[in-house]
Amino acid sequence: MARRENPEINAGSMADIAFLLLIFFLVTTTMNVDSGISKKLSEKPPEDYVPPIIKEKNIFEVNLNFRNELQVEGERMEIEDLKDAAIAFIDNGGGEGKIEEGVKTGPCTYCKGERSESSSDHPNKAIISVQSDRGTEYGTYLKVQNELLRAYTVLRNRLSQERYGMSFDKLEEAYKDDRNNEALKKKVEDIKTAYPQIISDAEPTSSN
């Protein structure tokens, strides 16, 4: 009786199929993008630099502990209430602005705050100091930063609407589409100067 030979399997086509499947999954698979906050680090000051004296009332202290609990000016606060508290501080307008080119900015004529003597003098003097703990969850830290950025967005949009008839978001978008437009550039700079975003990150504390 003749011996039957086992048919050979052509593995060449299998390799091609596996390669095509690999390419397919590489092309169609989505990857999570790390979230973060875009910030420009300040330049190193010169050796003879003397830091200015800052009044305590011009500093808005925001603290996060290792339990992800938020304290603002020493008082417990929910993250959802942080935006309004920051707006009240930045927009207080209780005094004179900082000295620019040897001339004081003067009182804030566009602020709509309570003008309390115990809160910030002017938006260009209002400093928000954020201090977290090394045990603070990154997601909680991002929520806090987001609420603070929202506070500046609200104030900038309001002033831009009053001065130029459009929100600052739309004004900035229009300038991005037309970088050579000097009129738009001056308007954007005007609103940013009126409400400069001054958020300082203090050295994290350690719960250990």
Residue 32 has pLDDT above 70, yes or no: no
Token representation of residue 173: 């978008």
pTM (2 decimals)?
A: 0.77
Higher pLDDT, residue 13 or 176: 176
Which is nearest to 144 in space by CA: 59, 38, 70? 70
Query: Which residues contact residue 174 at a Cβ distance below 8 angstroms, ignoring those fewer than 6 apart?
Result: 166, 181, 184
Q: For 166, what's the count of Cα atoms within 13 Å in the CB-facing half-sphere?
A: 11
Torsion over CA of 97, 98, 99 and 104, rounded to 10 degrees? 10
Bridging pattern class, strands 70-72 and 75-76:
antiparallel
pLDDT in tens, 120-146: 999 999 999 999 999 999 999 999 999
pLDDT in tens, 143-168: 999 999 999 999 999 999 999 999 99
Q: What are phi and psi of 63, to 5 degrees?
A: -125, 140
Residue 43 has pLDDT above 70, yes or no: no
131 vs 201: CA distance, rounded Å? 6
Task: Yes or no: say if 104 and 177 are a contact pair by the CB < 8 Å rule.
Answer: no
Residue 182 has pLDDT above 60, yes or no: yes
35 vs 139: CA distance, rounded Å? 9
Bridge partners of 128?
60, 199
Q: Best-predicted range by mean pLDDT among 27-36, 39-48, 116-125?
A: 116-125
